[in-house]
Amino acid sequence: MTRIRHLAGALVATVIASVLVLSPARAAAPAANPAVAGTITVSAASSLIDVFPVIAKAFQKRYPGTTVRFNFAGSSTLVNQIKAGAPVDVLATASDATMLSAVTAGLVGMPATFAKNSMAIAMPADNPARIRSLADLARPGTLVGMCAVTVPCGVAGRELLARNKVSITPVTQELDVRSVLGKVLSGDLDAGLVYVTDVKSVGKRVSSVQIPARLNVTTAYQIATVGETANPAVAQRFVDYVHYSLSAQGILRAYGFARHW
């Protein structure tokens, strides 16, 4: 009986060894994913200056060993910086048109839309010019600022004015939306065309006019890895995190950005 048990055990061991050697699943096992660790630089539109560091903090907690650094500016400026060779790993723009220019130039990979935004009128807290509507911006002597036409907030602002048949001559045209907001906060402007999220970011420091959705315009935010990234694993993981994760999307909602779907 003992001899039979030994023979049976030897037979089972032989069969298991044969399966392990011949099993297609074992032979075709995929290679391990590259380690998600290291530092990346994210060039992001100025309107993301409040929300992206919060998302980065959550990302770094989710992926210990990663560090996310930022470079904020107007979207078109960011694209030009990458064209000039700036060491950037991820690009996030405030419009699909600006991202398309980076795609066409071969600077980035496939972009993903991760949020939307719309326009608002910001005024100093005491609203000295008594702005109540878009039409009030056209009153003679009203000091209105907006973004330059080369950046997404400038394109959206002009589309907003055209849609509502309002004609103004801005006293300043800034290269990013936070510069417009800054001049409203300082009292240099009676009003500025900015994003809804910019108004939300400063709370009671400004007063504002919320524009009805049927009269407003929206802009789509897109994100992509830069082709020359030195850390493609972390860069792609950050792009996916911003676009897909409930955590990042929840943070974006909390800061006033609209869903991208």
User: What CATH number is given to the structural domain containing 82?
Assistant: 3.40.190.10
Question: Which residues pair with residue 68 across a beta bridge?
Answer: 40
Q: Are both 176 and 146 inside the same structural domain?
A: yes
Q: Are both 110 and 230 inside the same structural domain?
A: yes
pLDDT at 170: 98
Q: What span, in angstroms and rounded, lies between the C-alpha atoms of 250 and 261?
A: 14
Written as six digits, the tokens of 249 are 């999307």
Q: What's the DSSP call for residue 108?
A: B
Q: What span, in angstroms and rounded, lies between the C-alpha atoms of 170 and 149?
A: 12
In a domain, 183, yes or no: yes
| Residue position matching structure tokens 């770094």 | 60
Written as six digits, the tokens of 73 are 């500016």
Q: Are both 237 and 145 inside the same structural domain?
A: no
In a domain, 179, yes or no: yes
Q: Are both 93 and 210 inside the same structural domain?
A: no
Q: What span, in angstroms and rounded, lies between the C-alpha atoms of 199 and 73?
A: 18
In a domain, 22, yes or no: no
Q: Report CA 3 to chain centroid distance, whole Å.
A: 71
Q: Report CA 260 to chain centroid distance, whole Å.
A: 11
Q: Are both 85 and 154 inside the same structural domain?
A: no
pLDDT at 219: 97
Q: Are both 122 and 214 inside the same structural domain?
A: yes
Q: What span, in angstroms and rounded, lies between the C-alpha atoms of 46 and 78?
A: 10
| Cα–Cα nearest to 143, from 197, 193, 205, 194 | 193
Q: What span, in angstroms and rounded, lies between the C-alpha atoms of 15 and 5?
A: 15
In a domain, 23, yes or no: no
Ramachandran category for residue 11: left, alpha or beta (phi over 0 → left; psi -120 to 50 → alpha): alpha
Q: Are both 85 and 155 inside the same structural domain?
A: no
Written as six digits, the tokens of 80 are 């030009």
Reading the chain (261 residues) residue by residue, the pLDDT tens digits are 444 344 344 433 443 333 333 333 333 333 334 578 999 999 999 999 999 999 999 999 999 999 999 999 999 999 999 999 999 999 999 999 999 999 999 999 999 999 999 999 999 999 999 999 999 999 999 999 999 999 999 999 999 999 999 999 999 999 999 999 999 999 999 999 999 999 999 999 999 999 999 999 999 999 999 999 999 999 999 999 999 999 999 999 999 999 998
Q: Are both 55 and 100 inside the same structural domain?
A: yes
Q: What span, in angstroms and rounded, lies between the C-alpha atoms of 251 and 14?
A: 56
Q: Which domain covers residue 112, as residue numbers?
A: 38-116+220-254
Query: Into how many domains does the chain fold?
Result: 2
In a domain, 247, yes or no: yes
Q: Are both 111 and 121 inside the same structural domain?
A: no
Written as six digits, the tokens of 236 are 């792609």
- What count of Cα atoms within 13 Å lies in the side-chain half-sphere of residue 149? 4
pLDDT at 22: 35
Q: What's the DSSP call for residue 187?
A: T
| Cα–Cα nearest to 55, from 260, 261, 237 | 237
3-class secondary-structure state, position 36: coil
Mean pLDDT of the chain: 89
Q: Are both 160 and 105 inside the same structural domain?
A: no
Q: Are both 198 and 232 inside the same structural domain?
A: no
3-class secondary-structure state, position 209: strand
Angle, alpha carbons 184-190-195 (nearest 5°): 50
In a domain, 47, yes or no: yes
Written as six digits, the tokens of 32 are 């391990």
Q: What span, in angstroms and rounded, lies between the C-alpha atoms of 185 and 27?
A: 65
| Cα–Cα nearest to 195, from 185, 212, 210, 207 | 210
**pTM attached to this predicted model:** 0.85
Written as six digits, the tokens of 8 are 């049976």
In a domain, 121, yes or no: yes
In a domain, 4, yes or no: no
Q: Are both 68 and 195 inside the same structural domain?
A: no
